[in-house]
Structure 1
């Protein structure tokens, strides 16, 4: 039994296809098939049921695959130990970022991180929270940046910053004359929301949940773009809420429509999340230090009492 054989087993288990598993493993299909067959012969059990399309995992195979993940992760930790002993921070690192964070956070830290850690090959993917969780579990991401808490057993959460919610309210809106707003002022019926699947949308709904029902009025639109929501709000179609960092790049005409919250200010906790196995932890810590240092200077709400809508059930 070899680590390579176990890696091939994990690839077949994931893609349920020998040809695709071989392609993703950068070997020929006959080589991969032969090594998997050799392992099955050694163990005396079938790991995969090849009579089905797509290939399925046998009951014994499910237990073997689960253990193979542990063994491969532990084998990878050996290289991590050596890198940490040498003080080496480098190599490939795959980071997932949710869509409502990526456009504003990435330009803030990426250049600084690359300059400080030139030996790290940073690969960044935009994914929603469910995809991040699944890909961290499957080993396709080294870490993710998402709104927390998630409270998942196999995932560690390291808070990076707390990002306040900001109201975007045109003058002709019912709240347009107010200097500051409170959650009790909000009515989900006239809030323009991101489409389903965005955790920022969930935070807004939770913020209004104690007093209001979800939007079910005669007019309803959901978008994946904050820019669309802002433009619709300008046309008198309602108000919306924005994460604070998104407001920094708005033009002066749009900034005049921003309304800040009274204390306690609703905010989302943004964290670096990664598997509890802590592979490549030296890169994870370097990433956290760079992002935290930069964002702390950009958010002027550090000493303000905040509440997290995602904590509400």
Structure 2
């Protein structure tokens, strides 16, 4: 049994196809297939059900795959331990960021980070929370930035900042004359939302304590971007809620439509998430320090109440 064989097993389990797994491992398909077969012969079991399309994992194979993932992670720890001992902060580091955080946060910290840590080859991927969590579990991401708490087994959440919600209320809206707003002022059927899959959407629904059966015309106007929601609100189709950092990018004329919440302001907790195995922890710590230091100067709000991103429905 070799670490290479275990890498091949993990690839086949993920892609459910020997040819695709071989491409991802940069070997020929016969080489990968032969090594997986040798491991199965050595263990005297079948890890994969080749009669299925896509290829399936046998019952015992699922246990082997889980253990293989643990072994590969621990093997990677050896180089990680050496790097930490030498104080080396470098190498490949793949970071996932959710779409409602990436456009505002990334420009704030990226240049500072790559300047301070030029030996880190930073690979950034925009992913929704569900995909981000799965990729962290599968080892395809070294860390992620998402709204928390998520309370996922074997993953650690390290809060970076607390970002208040801000109302965007056009002139013709019933709340336009309010200097500040409260959660009690909100009507879920009056709020333009992001489409399903965005945790910020779930946070708003939780904030409004909406019932399980709500449906209204605004849900046929769901969008994937805050910019679109703001434009729809300007057309008189409702109001919307924005993360505080996004409001900093609004044009001057639109800022007059912002309404802050009375304290404590509802807010989302944004965290750096990584596996509890702490692979590449020296890079993770460096990133946490850079982001927290920069955002701390942009968000002055202290009196906040965290709204869960987890759906209640």
Task: Report if TM-score (shorter chain) is over 0.5.
Answer: yes
Alignment equivalent of 2:306, drawn from 293, 305, 308: 308
Say whether 1:291 aligns with 2:281. no
Q: Show the counterpart of 1:216.
A: 215
> Matches of 1:123 and 1:6 in 2, distance apart?
24
Q: Show the counterpart of 1:183.
A: 183
Q: Show the counterpart of 2:197.
A: 197
Give the aligned length. Answer: 310
Q: Show the counterpart of 1:230.
A: 230
1:311 shift after superposition: 7.0
Contact 2:200 2:309 in 1 (8 A): no
> Matches of 1:129 and 1:218 in 2, distance apart?
26
1:300 shift after superposition: 1.7
Q: Show the counterpart of 2:41.
A: 41
> Matches of 2:74 and 2:11 in 1, distance apart?
17
C-alpha distance after superposition, 1:62-94 (max 9, x if no partner): 111111111101000111100000000000000
Structure 1 residue ranges, 4+ long, deviating more than 2 angstroms after superposition: 212-220
TM-score, scaled to structure 2: 0.96
1:217 shift after superposition: 3.0
> Matches of 1:57 and 1:272 in 2, distance apart?
32
Aligned CA distance change for structure 1 residues 92 and 236 (closer, same or farther; 3 Å): same
Partner of 1:291, secondary structure, is helix
C-alpha distance after superposition, 1:260-285 (max 9, x if no partner): 01011000000001111111111000
C-alpha distance after superposition, 1:226-268 (max 9, x if no partner): 1111011111111000000000011110001000010110000
1:45 shift after superposition: 1.3
Contact 1:189 1:214 in 2 (8 A): no
Aligned CA distance change for structure 1 residues 21 and 187 (closer, same or farther; 3 Å): same
Partner of 1:223, secondary structure, is coil
> Matches of 2:171 and 2:53 in 1, distance apart?
60
Which stretches in structure 2 are left out of the alignment for 5+ residues?
none
> Matches of 2:119 and 2:214 in 1, distance apart?
48
1:173 shift after superposition: 0.8
> Matches of 2:217 and 2:69 in 1, distance apart?
50
Q: Show the counterpart of 2:52.
A: 52
1:53 shift after superposition: 1.6
Contact 1:162 1:268 in 2 (8 A): yes
Q: Show the counterpart of 1:253.
A: 253
Say whether 1:64 aligns with 2:76. no
Aligned CA distance change for structure 1 residues 202 and 185 (closer, same or farther; 3 Å): same
> Matches of 2:227 and 2:309 in 1, distance apart?
27
Aligned CA distance change for structure 1 residues 267 and 18 (closer, same or farther; 3 Å): same
Say whether 1:130 aligns with 2:130. yes
> Matches of 1:28 and 1:62 in 2, distance apart?
24
> Matches of 2:13 and 2:154 in 1, distance apart?
20
> Matches of 1:54 and 1:236 in 2, distance apart?
49
Contact 2:268 2:309 in 1 (8 A): no
